[in-house]
Amino acid sequence: MLDYAALSALAAVVREGSFERAAQSLHVTPSAVSQRVRLLEERMGCALVVRGQPCTATEVGQRLCRHAAQVALLEHDLRHALPVALPQAADRTRLPVAVNADSLASWFAPAAARYAAEAPVLLELAVDDQDHTAERLRSGAVLAAVTALAAPAAGCNSQALGALRYVAAASPAFMARHFADGVQARTLARAPSLLYDRKDRLQARWVRRLCRRTVPLPCHLLPSPQAFVEAALAGMGWGMQPLLLVRPLLADGRLVELAPGTPLDVPLYWQHARAASSLLDGLGRAVRDAARASLLG
């Protein structure tokens, strides 16, 4: 039998990043948090927390954190299903979710905000590349994810959301300076591109499809969807922009497509833990409704 006070302490350390802040959130002393985590590690026979700045969970620790989150969801449902009234929980239920940055910046955030305004939850959104958000689900770091992977992670369900359309775009001045001779392998190899992070493969995928071969691309790293758009407007480079974000900029000519008629559509999926939960189901409905209204069917 697991000690759920110890599980709560472990989850707080991972969530807050330190034993001191975890103690503050739980209204206990840091030594109490440390003792609970240590006893849980002894019971499990392995380390659960990597002590550092910030503290992070080991693989087993992540799975225990997911279990603690699932138990909190089930307790919420039980509290509302029993015929006798139970003491109401003082805190909202935490719901960890992974989402790609472009979805968060366009269609996902409004849906999450509407849901959180009505449901007794605190959303913990982890941002990662759409090809990697499912890894957080598999590791146990989150209970649900917007991902580009259709195959469900173990213990999870997967539902198609639609496709997020991207277009290769740059400012008119950038186009005149770097692509006066056309958009081709030779000019693309010289013109600076924009990259969200080292996991971002969208620019490379689009170029490979356009040129029918791999082209090494010089790039600026800009880990922010808003900065990504602003950098393109300022003539810093070209990049794959979510059409949902840049449609007005294309319409008024502040951005132009490198090769009109060559969008890149990225299918997205909603994967979530199979554990039945009204809160998780409610979030899933809100996400699917928003995707239906915004993404390509």
Comparing 7-16, 56-65, 68-77, 90-99, the range with the smallest average pLDDT is: 68-77
According to CATH, the topology of domain 1-84 is: Arc Repressor Mutant, subunit A (1.10.10)
Gyration radius from the chain CA atoms: 22
**Can you give the residue ranges of every domain in the chain?**
1-84, 164-266
Length of the chain equals 297
pLDDT for residue 89 is more than 70: no
- State the pLDDT confidence band at 263, using cuts at 50, 70 and 90: very high
Q: What are the backbone angles phi and psi of residue 155, rounded to the nearest 5°?
A: 75, 15
Task: Quick: pLDDT tens for 172-216.
Answer: 999 999 999 999 999 999 999 999 999 999 999 999 999 999 999
Alpha-carbon gap, residue 210 to 65, rounded angstroms: 44
Q: Which CATH number fits domain 164-266: 3.40.190.10, 3.90.230.10, 1.20.120.160, 3.10.20.90?
A: 3.40.190.10
pLDDT in the model for residue 80: 66
Of 174, 172, 149, 186, the closest CA to residue 268 belongs to 149
Tokens of 38: 């240590």
Confidence of residue 1 (pLDDT cuts 50, 70, 90): confident
Residue whose pair of structure tokens reads 């480079």 in the numeric block: 237
Between 62 and 242, the higher pLDDT residue = 242
Classify 263 as helix, strand or coil: coil
Asked if residue 225 has a cis previous peptide bond (ω within 30° of 0), the answer is no
Report the share of the chain in percent with pLDDT over 70: 96
* Predicted pLDDT at 106: 96
Written in H, E and C, the secondary structure of 88-135 is CCCCCEEEEEEECHHHHHHHHHHHHHHHHHHCCEEEEEEECCCCCHHH
Instruction: Supply the pLDDT for residue 112.
Output: 96
Look at the block and give the residue holding tokens 């997967």.
158
Q: Can you give the pLDDT at residue 37? A: 94
